[in-house]
Amino acid sequence: MATRTALRPPSPGPYAHLEPLPDPPRIRDMQQYTRIAAFDQFLHAYFGQRADVLIAGGGYLRQEAGNDAERLVPDCMVVFGVNPDAIVARNGYVISEVGQPPDFVLEVASRSTGRRDYTVKRAAYAGYGVREYWRFDHTGGRYHDAALAGDRLVGGEYEPLPINEEPDGVKWGHSPVLGLDLCWEEGQLRVYDPVAGSYLLPPEELEARRAAAEARAAGAEGRAAAERSARLTTEGRAAAERDARRLAEDRAVTAEGELRRLREQLRRLQAE
């Protein structure tokens, strides 16, 4: 994964202290929810080092806080250069308060809202100034106009981003805003990091891999310590044996010298 520098978020601003927006009605089906949650986890794991990134969904997106006619509720949106805590406290995203529209919005298809995603919502997000608008349909295009589609805002209107299809049926497109590839693979939404050359993993799998790597490192360190201990023990025994041999040799030399001295003394006595 490419390294990103954590930025200091701007001050919360007055919108952080306003009355929270109401909760939108919940109409997501189970398949839609699980795919939104997975995508949210991918992005949180990827952008986790940055403090100025909002990754959220399920709240109202409005141009003005008091306009109840604005009923857009993005499944997932990403905004850079903001204070995410303040926006979460507002329980919604009000463009006039934050001072900028979302950079990225994703809608995941459902039976009840699929057609609106690529018609009404597409026009509305363009009007709000959302830089990129992506759609994912796990059915392959039964609810949306395509299995995977992305648009980039150019001159106030959306222009489609290229979608590629691999021989194995995987469809993917690159998001310049995120710097990532969004992929449709057998009905699953996956995210590929072209810099790292690998798919993003959810936080729980990243944590599991980190724990496994730490366990392997601890095991290797333990084995190395045991080897060092065994080596030291072996070296210690060898040193003790060397010391014992030296002591024995020293004693033998001393005894032989003493014996020569006594013999010489005996010869002198006999000569007298």
**What's the pLDDT score for residue 33?**
81
First to last CA, the chain: 100
The answer to whether the CB of 123 falls within 8 A of the CB of 92 is: no
**What's the pLDDT score for residue 269?**
65
Q: What is the pLDDT along the chain (272 residues), one digit of tens a residue?
A: 333 333 444 444 556 567 888 888 776 666 788 889 889 999 998 998 899 999 999 999 999 998 888 889 999 999 999 999 999 999 999 999 999 999 999 999 998 889 999 999 999 999 999 999 999 999 999 999 999 999 999 999 999 999 999 999 999 999 999 999 999 999 999 999 999 999 998 766 656 655 666 666 666 666 766 676 667 677 767 777 787 788 777 776 676 666 677 666 667 666 66
Please give the model's pTM, rounded to 2 decimal places: 0.71
Q: Domain residues of the chain, as ranges? A: 14-200
**What's the pLDDT score for residue 10?**
45
What CA–CA distance (Å, rounded) separates 170 from 228? 51
**Rounded alpha-carbon distances, angstroms, from residue 81 to 9, 22, 73, 104:** 7, 25, 21, 13
**What's the pLDDT score for residue 188?**
93
**In terms of C-beta density within 10 A (0-12 exposed, 13-18 middle, 19 or more buried), how is residue 146 classed?**
middle
Tell me the CATH number for domain 14-200: 3.90.1570
**What's the pLDDT score for residue 254?**
73
Longest dimension (CA), the chain: 137
**What's the pLDDT score for residue 7?**
41
